[in-house]
Amino acid sequence: MPTPVTPTVRIIGRPNLDREELHRYLAEIGGQDWTAHRPDYNDTQDLIEVAGRTCYRSFAAGLNPNVTRVRTDPDAYLGNIVEHRHGSVLEHAQYTFIIQNVSRVFTHEWVRHRQGVAISQESLRYVRLTELPFWYPEWAQNDPELLSRGQQILTALEDFQTWMADHFQLDRAGMPFHEKKAKTSFMRRFAPEGLATVLVWSANVRTLRHVVETRTDEGAEEEVRLVANQLGELMATEVPALFADYVIDDTGAWTTPHRKV
């Protein structure tokens, strides 16, 4: 029986700032007091602030003769970056996610975001299907006849996958891997686009903001909206100063006056 699944997003990689090397650099340029107002470190937000302040040498007043005042509150500094759309410095901070139990309908759309991302997807040329996990939106789960007929089709396809594996003798001792690969690649042609899969997906903060804005929009596909909303919730907790400008409207869309930072 095909397994119902729910798309999930997890952060598995985030920036790791080398504080010792950063402090050596700051001491060389006379900006060592910059960290005094940072009792609780957030590597991502500090990395972006370092990038921004480097552009103006604004770690302290007077380091750049043109800069006589500097913002000392990190949230205010980062808020100013977002407000003035200085998005280039957001590109320094890269995050990696496991996006699990999403359909290939989802991945066909998600991979259109190419700028500032890296993508690795489970390959059905190599991974043999033994079951067909499938996500049903809530409205479909509330339609018993639709659910029943859908499960019948998935069960038949799942049984066919099992039959093909036996027919091709894929578990026969000594079968060359290239032959297994060729047969497995053929078998995936009988898997539905709604089949659940998994991505490892990396993106910088500038790209993440853009994806959350565009993919939680009311017109986006509903599975895509579900994942983009999870992404936004994770990042709003992870780097609150960089997502504080967002408001979630009545449709569930993440909106901001600072789009495309």
Which residues are catalytically annotated?
215
3-class SS string, 162-175:
HHHHHHCCCCCCCC
- How many other CB atoms sit within 10 Å of the CB of residue 225? 18
Tell me how far apart the alpha carbons of residues 149 and 182 are, in angstroms, rounded to a whole number: 31
Cβ atoms of 102 and 227 closer than 8 Å: yes
| Residues whose CB falls within 8 Å of the CB of residue 67, separated by 6 or more in sequence, listed in order | 56, 57, 58, 61
Helix ranges (DSSP H) in 117-260: 138-141, 144-167, 177-187, 205-215, 222-238, 240-243
Q: What are phi and psi of 227, to 5 degrees?
A: -70, -45
Tell me how far apart the alpha carbons of residues 87 and 98 are, in angstroms, rounded to a whole number: 25
**Which two tokens mark 92?**
């320094």
